[in-house]
Chain A
Amino acid sequence: GAVVSQHPSWVICKSGTSVKIECRSLDFQATTMFWYRQFPKQSLMLMATSNEGSKATYEQGVEKDKFLINHASLTLSTLTVTSAHPEDSSFYICSAEGRRGYEQYFGPGTRLTVT
Chain B
Amino acid sequence: LAKTTQPISMDSYEGQEVNITCSHNNIATNDYITWYQQFPSQGPRFIIQGYKTKVTNEVASLFIPADRKSSTLSLPRVSLSDTAVYYCLVGDRQTGGGNKLTFGTGTQLKVEL
Contact = CB atoms under 8 A, between A and B. Distances in A.
B47 to A, nearest CB: 12
Nearest to B92: A102
Nearest to A30: B97
Chain A interface secondary structure, helix, strand, loop or mixed? strand
B83 to A, nearest CB: 15
A12 to B, nearest CB: 15
A102 B103 contact: no
A109 B41 contact: yes
Chain A, interface residues (CB within 8 Å), range = 20 to 34
Given A43-B87, A43-B103, A49-B100, A106 B94 contact: no
Contacts of A6: 43
Contacts of B26: none
Given A106-B44, A108-B43, 16 more contacts: A6-B43, A43-B104, A44-B44, A45-B103, A46-B101, A91-B41, A93-B44, A95-B43, A95-B101, A97-B97, A101-B95, A101-B97, A102-B95, A106-B45, A107-B43, A109-B42
Interface of A: 4, 6, 31-32, 34, 36, 43-46, 49, 51, 91, 93-95, 97, 100-109, 111
